[in-house]
Structure 1
């Protein structure tokens, strides 16, 4: 492949990955600062929950819209717009004294945050072809997994270094860093090969080539691709995988540390270790599994979903039986590894479905369902605990969700599984 093409491809990937590693700073800021914010604004528990959930609700709804927007007006523009506006909305929170203003700002922030990932997937679809796409998406999603750790470490480090620092500073300083990396991405990344006089890659998979031609006809009529996507029966099952994996992902982030803190008095698992181990496991899992799924081995992505969901379900069963810190941390690492590996495969499938015409739209639908799952997690598990009166019930429900993912994975799997490169799908 042309050396210039390869350079632009890698520059776009690396600058986007570095930028996205900082994006969660602007998404979890309120959650990280909630205790101090609540004290300052005298927030009730219900109001705290409303503010914390608002970003996920608007993120889910925004994903359905912004994926198509990235395909229509340009992926790079959407990423820059989302990163820039999100940074300034975070800064605006620092100047508020009323909780309603914070709620409205955070709702708006969720919408603009939803532009960034779907725009990035759409841009990568223009450069990363079949047979190597798993490498590109794996590295990008690795940065997404690590951003959970970044969003925890930077605010925690700032508060540790300056314990008397006002919580509002955490809504300003990290956003300056995000703006800097958004600028670097904007200056260095290229939307598509044609913008530099290069030819786009040739699609080698016949099915994908036929699909792209069909989608080009839809785009030529100025129509949206939603009817096309949702007419594919297995597409709905992939939406289910997106939702179920997200419920489990945020459930693990929120409820495993809380379980060990309340049941064992925090003696087994500290919040620091749990807040770092799961994201690192997620990042490693999505890098390795997505890379393998889209580059080296498996032609059948559904069977990988089945295997990873089964592994996650197995680990969840044994968590309540473990009382050794090292064993718990190993379990948390590999649970994140399996769950976020599934997440990475979603974006490979989104590009397979949307090709270079509507990749953002397909990714936006999957991301929308994923964050509907994140919203559901905040309601589902507290309701389950209140109903059964036992925190162990969280693990039982999560096991049921993993079984649901196994079923979805089996449905989308091909009957004849062959180990071969993706381009021979």
Structure 2
């Protein structure tokens, strides 16, 4: 199948075809409401994925005390989820970009819930480390059906100049879900007298309800419900427009190869993501151990540092989205560099704090490391969406996630432990500081290309506004047709009054 051909056979999962355009008064009333509705759908839905992503660390102490599994086994099971999720986030994105987000996301969440129910209710599925790891690998794989449809919805329902802030808000769903899983697992354990299986099946029941709610709220694209494309609705063209003429005759995988795998910008983003994720998990996963061994903090105090790091991520993500859209005017590269510089500064302060440093000061350093690192975690996925054509946006973000999870996160889980054991904390923090420098260098290499795209986007937006306000011919009813070469396509424009701020309505 080529990009310009209709599929030979459509399925229930296929992306819906455009519906007949609604009347202008319906567009005016429905568009804002549906934007809020679909956003809440992907926010609640993505938080639901975190309820059942990787619950083995929550019950690790219980199963270790039971004696049928050791720490190595717990690590194998936990890494099975990370590795599967990293690969799935990319490969599922290639399917999601051609699928109905309304079906794709709830389906993935429901499948993950079924896997977790099975783990909790079928003893044979956790009878050995190998079987348990295989089952959790499957869970990690269907978990990869959460991010790509969310990215598809964000690209189709929110335009370039607002997407940073909207994506930042959406990205906090994983912090909400991360906090929710602790409460859900604790409730399950309380109801069952501490049976660890309840930390899987009880959150899974909640996740099934969340999947149903997500299905009710999500819609695939504006065009699928009779609304104009978001670029037309907000007079804000995409940074990158697909060249369908040049892609005629190409298969989807040839398009992915061209726009993603062999795309210099996407490769640089993916490599930068390796170092960003290595920092995220390298600091986060080893915070309790570092505070305990070096600063003689209690286990409880170390866990508080872990939680504070995650909490800071909410504030950092929101701040990063706002700064990206408002201060840097959509330049994600410079925003990312600024936040990574913040990571470096507070990482050095955290590392070089002598023994005896007040505990509250160490917590301040950890808070700001978490706040600054979660900005780029969100931002690289957003850059992949922004700097790729819409028909491969999810695949582009999945490609960066593949590198982040499979290389960055898994290497941090094992690599930091190896460095500490063989060379000590000093060398370990030096390597982590090197990761900061490497990520900044890689992001800086993307800067010129993003600057070019931003300038092109700004020129296109000004041209469309000029077309809207000036290039029209009036009829007796006060309607005008905008020339198609100066607009998003031939359409009628009604100006309520002849002023620069006149509200504009469109009817195709």
TM-score (norm 2): 0.76
1:64 — aligned with what? 90
Query: Does the alignment pair 1:125 with 2:155?
Result: yes
| Among candidates 406, 412, 418, match of residue 383 of structure 1 | 418
1:413 aligns with 2:447: yes
Deviation at 1:51, TM superposition (A): 0.8
Give distance in 2, aligned partners of 1:67 and 1:421: 29
- Residue 103 of structure 1 aligns with which residue? 133
Alignment deviations for residues 252-308 of structure 1 (CA, whole Å, 9 cap, x no partner): 211122101222332497144223211111111111212331356434221121111
For residues 219 and 153 of structure 1, what CA distance do their matches in structure 2 show? 51
SS of 2:194's equivalent in the other structure is coil
1:66-215 matched pairs, under 5 angstroms? 66-94=92-120, 95-96=122-123, 97-99=126-128, 100-156=130-186, 159=189, 161=190, 164-202=193-231, 208=239, 211-214=240-243
Equivalent in 54, 64, 69 of residue 43 of structure 1: 69
- The aligned residue for residue 275 of structure 2 is 244
Aligned to 1:351: 385
C-alpha separation in 2, matches of 1:114 and 1:219: 30
Q: Are the counterparts in 1 of residues 274 and 403 from structure 2 also a CA contact under 8 Å?
A: yes
Aligned equivalents of 2:370 and 2:363: distance in 1? 11
Range with greater deviation from structure 2 (179-188 or 216-225): 216-225
Gapped runs of 5+ residues in structure 2? 1-26, 460-508
**Larger helix percent:** 1
CA offset digits 1:181-237 (Å, max 9, x no partner): 1111101111111221111122666773xx433268648743222322233323221
Change (3 A) 1:9 1:339: same
Residue 256 (1) aligns with residue 282 (2): no
Secondary structure of 2:157's match?
coil
Deviation digits for residues 48-72 of structure 1, max 9, x if unmatched? 2211110011111111201111012
Query: Take 2:194 and 2:151, find their aligned partners in 1: how far apart are those partners?
Result: 37
Q: Pick one of 366, 369, 386 that aligns with 1:332.
A: 366
Match of 1:371 in 2: 405
Q: Name which structure has the greater RCO, CA cutoff 8 Å, separation 6+.
A: 1
Q: Note if contact 1:27-1:113 (Cα within 8 Å) is conserved in structure 2.
A: yes
Equivalent residue for 1:276, pick from 307, 316, 327: 307
Is 1:28 matched up with 2:62?
no
Number of equivalent positions: 420
Provide TM-score, normalisation by structure 1. 0.91
CA separation in 2, counterparts of 1:190 and 1:300? 29
Aligned in 2, Cα 1:250/1:339: closer, same or farther, shift over 3 Å? same
CA gap 1:180/1:113 in 2 versus in 1, 3 angstroms: same
Change (3 A) 1:335 1:220: farther
Check the 8 A contact 1:237/1:408 in 2, yes or no: yes
Closer/same/farther in 2, CA of residues 163 and 32 from structure 1, 3 Å limit = same
Q: Which runs of 4+ in 1 moved over 4 A?
A: 156-159, 203-207, 415-418, 420-423
Which stretch has the larger CA shift, 323-332 or 53-62? Answer: 323-332
The RMSD of aligned alpha carbons is 2.7
Larger radius of gyration: 2
When residues 3 and 285 of structure 1 are mapped into structure 2, their CA distance, relative to the original with a 3 A threshold, is farther
| Counterpart contact for 1:31–1:52, Cα < 8 Å | yes
| Contact in 2 for aligned 1:15/1:181 (Cα 8 Å) | no
